[in-house]
Structure 1
């Protein structure tokens, strides 16, 4: 197996709100959150859930606590082994 094939099939396990999730290597934390169904961490003035809009760090709707760092832009953060993500306040 070539290095490129190895990287394409590699997976990473992280924890989202205390639950383990395995995703392909190269997955953004925002995408992992969407896969887990745990993405929404804030709501609008009417109480409706909000999620990422731009996917490039401009709208700030993807913020979560990543490895203890609050307000991390998850769309710009790649998953890595044993990463801890918390979306609830």
Structure 2
């Protein structure tokens, strides 16, 4: 994964956010019983959007789970990736 945009958060700040967020576990994951299952993260939006903090999100994952070239870099307009009929202009 090539980091083309400087990260907004350093490792310490990112770790603090993670520690604060997951300190008590994830109720949804536990309720569904999917802790040991592999997963995939996909995001959808109704309108055009710009990617933000994808590099930080990737750094939260263990190295073997980090995305490869499929990661959309921060500041990229997702209009560039969508077909004209699916990406409405404001």
TM-score (norm 2): 0.24
Which has more strand, going by share of residues?
1
The answer to which structure, 1 or 2, has the higher relative contact order (CA under 8 A, 6+ apart) is: 2
Larger helix proportion of the pair: 2
Question: TM-score normalised to the size of structure 1?
Answer: 0.24
- Computing the radius of gyration over CA atoms, which structure comes out larger, 1 or 2? 2
